[in-house]
Amino acid sequence: MKKLFILLAFAALLSACSSSTPSNQIKYSINLPTMADLNEEAKAKGVSKAEFYEAVKGITEDIKEVLTERAEQACKYQDIEIASHSFETKDDKLWGTITFKRDLLEIPYGLLEHIHANHIELPAGITSIPDGQFDGNDELESIIIPEGVKYIGRSAFDYCENLVSVKLPSTLQEIGEDAFSTCEKLTDITLPDGLIEIGEYAFEDCISLTDLKLPSSLREIGEEAFAGCESLTSIEIPKGITVIKGGAFLGCTNLAKVKLPSTVEKIEDEAFSHCTALKSINLNKVKEIDPSAFDGCDKLKLD
């Protein structure tokens, strides 16, 4: 029985290791036209499917060449050498794997912006996402951030308007100011246990977020961290929080349920202002409430 347990544990370890991207690689994918799209386009152009597919194959090869060239240009002046850049076409996506000659401790500046990837898997070994790393990248739809990353920098994903899914590591401790601000399509994100701080405006105007669990490890929610998250319906504040900062949930118009712990002592200006769906909240333990904390909450009945 003991041997079986050891074997199962070893298999689980191998599976966990194989699921992460090696520290000298970055993986990404780019969306390609679907077969249905190609059939429609071939029909519209009045050519046979075979002729059109051959033309598309040629275009795909051109794309590979361009991507390889862009990656090399981005790394050329950063003393980072690329060992190989391989491709695979699968499920209407062009998958690329860039293998570097040494392990990466940080993401090469400008590399991923040049590639215009829709999906990115970052390498094991990096410990932070730098300020502004993906700011304004409107091609990015999903990203996997590896274990070991502790900090997501200021405006790291700001205005990634098509970003839907983010996989965060269990090692994450801090999400910086404006980190995911105005990611209007973001719906799939889980905040890990171990997260300590969410910065100012971190998720401001993430208008598609409907459900978000705040981990028990959390100690600070910055000003306007979730302002304008108009689809958010409920939130439970963890026990480590003592202050609900100014505008933290300002304009969350569908927020109907808020659960406060006994540790919250202060609610600052406009913290829940214009949460027009909010009907009740227990404030028995709160010692200080700013007069504007609940402005515009017309349905609210204080417990």
Reply yes or no on whether the pLDDT at 164 is more than 80: yes
Bridge pairing between strands 93-100 and 151-152: unpaired
d(CA 78, CA 92): 33
231-290 pLDDT, tens digit per residue, is: 999 999 999 999 999 999 999 999 999 999 999 999 999 999 999 999 989 897 899 999
Query: What integer is the mean pLDDT of 78-99?
Result: 92
Confidence of residue 11 (pLDDT cuts 50, 70, 90): very low
Reply yes or no on whether the pLDDT at 8 is more than 50: no
100-130 pLDDT, tens digit per residue, is: 999 998 888 888 877 889 999 999 999 999 9
Query: What integer is the mean pLDDT of 71-83?
Result: 89
Which pairs from 132-138 meet CB under 8 Å and 24+ separation? 132/156, 132/158, 133/107, 133/157, 134/160, 135/159, 135/160, 136/160, 137/112, 137/113, 137/163, 138/162
Least confident of 41-50, 111-120, 170-179: 41-50
179-230 pLDDT, tens digit per residue, is: 999 999 999 999 999 999 999 999 999 999 998 999 999 999 999 999 999 9
Predicted confidence at residue 284, as pLDDT, reads: 77
Reply yes or no on whether the pLDDT at 1 is more than 50: no
Least confident of 1-10, 18-27, 141-150, 207-216: 1-10
Backbone φ and ψ for 189, nearest 5 degrees, come out as -155, 135
Predicted confidence at residue 29, as pLDDT, reads: 94
Structure-token pair, residue 88: 């695979």
